[in-house]
Amino acid sequence: MKKLLLALAFVFCAASVSAQGWGLGARVNAGVQLQAEYTFSSENYLDARLGVNFPSGLDVDLTLLYQWNIGQWDWTPKAGTWFFDAGVGAQAALLLHDNGGVYAGVVGDAKFGIKFNKVPIKLAIDYTPGLGCLFADGGGFAGRWYNFGLSCVYCF
């Protein structure tokens, strides 16, 4: 698992050296996720997260979100620009606890944070609830309602 995360980090870093509009960072919630962002314009971007979570055991998940910039404010003009983003996407997870299984579903996202002026860093707190299907012994629908996170992204 460590080798996979290291390889993905290397690929994201190599791709970002040659292209503008990329961001790479981490998101901390009930686990840790490697986060990559690709900005299409000032109004929208793609957010990809790969990581491990420990909500009730060990999960390895991949989340892809299409985000929209809803608002920006210069409350602290010397420090940076505050923002509120919202998005929708998909999530897949490999459940490695109890009897195991696979989870697939849709997620939403609401993110509030600041993009600093003097350093290319974005700090944000977000809420990413999800609803999907659990493919395991019991099966059925499963919700991921308590998915709050704190992220730090370096923007290239």
**Residue 14 identity:** A
In angstroms, rounded to a whole number, what is the distance separating the alpha carbons of residues 47 and 52? 17
The CATH number of whichever domain residue 50 belongs to comes to 2.40.160.20
pLDDT digits (tens, 9 = 90+) for 72-87: 988 877 889 999 999 9
Q: Which residue has the tokens 């793609």?
A: 46
Q: Band of the pLDDT at 47, cuts 50, 70, 90?
A: very high
Q: Is the pLDDT of residue 144 over 60?
A: yes
Structural domain for 74, as ranges: 2-155
Q: Does residue 65 contact residue 87 with C-beta atoms inside 8 Å? A: yes
Q: Does residue 23 contact residue 13 with C-beta atoms inside 8 Å? A: no
C-alpha gyration radius of the chain: 16
pTM reported for the whole predicted model: 0.80
**Residue 25 identity:** G
CA proximity to 69, closest of 84, 89, 53: 84
More confident residue, 17 or 46: 46
How many structural domains are present in the chain? 1
